[in-house]
């Protein structure tokens, strides 16, 4: 199940797993911090997650990202 995540959302999700902040993710992906936060909100909504830990748990369980 891919949860309807876009390629960019999957990139953000992978970086989320590294513990990167929205600011750091933005620099790595050449996005503004606000854009990263928009992607994070979409990720949480699509995964039905309420926080970073829950989103990562769902992503790892469904093999959306590497541990």
pLDDT tens sequence across 9-34: 999 999 999 999 999 999 999 999 99
- CA nearest to 2, candidates 50, 40, 58, 41: 58
Percent of the chain with pLDDT over 90: 94
39 Cβ partners below 8 Å, 6+ apart? Answer: 8, 9, 12, 31
pLDDT band at 1 (very low <50, low <70, confident <90, very high): confident
- pTM beyond cutoff 0.85: yes
């Amino acid at each position: 199940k891919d949860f309807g995540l876009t390629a960019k959302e999957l990139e953000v999700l992978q970086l989320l797993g590294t513990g990167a902040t929205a600011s750091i993710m933005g620099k790595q992906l050449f996005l503004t911090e606000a854009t990263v936060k928009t992607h994070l909100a979409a990720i949480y909504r699509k995964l039905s997650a309420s926080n970073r830990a829950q989103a990562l748990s769902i992503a790892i369980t469904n093999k959306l990202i590497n541990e």
